[in-house]
Amino acid sequence: MTPSTVLRIERVTQRFGGVVAVRDVNLALDRGTITGLIGPNGAGKTTLFNTVSGFFRPTEGTIRFEDQDVTGAAPHVLARLGLVRTFQGARVFPKLTVEEGLRAAAHLPTGGGSKRQPVIRHVMQELGLERYRHEPAGSLPSGVMRVLGIAMAIQTGATMLLLDEPAAGLSAEELANLQRIIRDVHRAGVSVWVIEHNLHFLMGLVSRAIVLDAGAVIADGAPADVTRDPCVVEAYLGSEAHAVA
């Protein structure tokens, strides 16, 4: 791995019985970037995330994070190393307040007095969660709950976030806020890899777009170039390519 590479995926294949969900994927993601992962439904995007983040062990291939071989490492091991993912549905502690949930994510006692309390307060302020700090997470609007999921991932000490469809079901106002938050997280030094079907949201956010189809990478490059790639247009975008470009 070069000094700028934070995550390297080498010849990774994921099979389930006779089904090949991810096919011979080779990728190197640079530190300090926001990268998009797109493709049609069933392309293998979430399976690739599950494999990279330790929920599946790859059938073949190697995964390296921060120059360590982490192939098959459990999610909690990867989280300790700094690689954390979110899910399509926000996973929060519904009965805990926002502040308690952030403390739990940081492995702090639920009472006060921690030296990291100012850090938690800062995260809440920066991500717009301060007004909800005493609210049970399960009662939050969907957009706020999505932001809380990202905040909890940050509190684990993540240096790389894998976000699985964070924009799904959000209003235009929530989408704009989420874009701002992801940029803020990125500026704080966290590398971000995001799956998203909302191309207008994604293409205004990422510097690189990777396209998966039938488990294989069919395009990889600058968003404007990817949306004009004939293979991508045929497999996924269709007429939407003209709207995004």
Domain tally, the chain: 1
The verdict on residue 96 lying in a domain is no
CATH number of the structural domain spanning residue 208:
3.40.50.300
CA distance 35 to 206: 5
Query: Which pLDDT score, from 0 to 100, does residue 244 have?
Result: 47
Print the domain residue range for 214: 5-87+157-244
Query: Which pLDDT score, from 0 to 100, does residue 112 have?
Result: 46
Instruction: Spell out where the chain has E strands.
Output: 5-16, 19-30, 34-38, 60-65, 68-69, 83-85, 160-164, 191-195, 208-213, 216-221
pLDDT digits (tens, 9 = 90+) for 73-84: 999 999 989 999
Going residue by residue through the chain, which has 245 residues, state the pLDDT in tens, using 9 for 90 and above: 555 999 999 999 999 999 999 999 999 999 999 999 999 989 999 999 999 999 999 999 999 999 999 999 999 999 989 999 988 766 788 899 999 988 888 774 444 444 455 568 888 887 889 999 999 999 998 888 888 888 888 888 889 999 999 888 888 888 888 898 899 889 989 999 999 988 889 988 999 999 999 999 999 999 999 988 988 888 776 545 444 44
The verdict on residue 93 lying in a domain is no
The verdict on residue 170 lying in a domain is yes
The verdict on residue 124 lying in a domain is no
pLDDT digits (tens, 9 = 90+) for 145-167: 888 888 888 888 889 999 999 88
Report the amino acid identity of residue 134: H
Residues 6+ apart with CB under 8 A from 116: 106, 108
Query: Which pLDDT score, from 0 to 100, does residue 111 have?
Result: 44
CA distance 7 to 135: 36
The verdict on residue 107 lying in a domain is no
The verdict on residue 45 lying in a domain is yes
CA distance 2 to 20: 30
Count of other CB atoms within 10 angstroms of residue 39: 24
Query: Which pLDDT score, from 0 to 100, does residue 245 have?
Result: 42
The verdict on residue 144 lying in a domain is no
The verdict on residue 141 lying in a domain is no
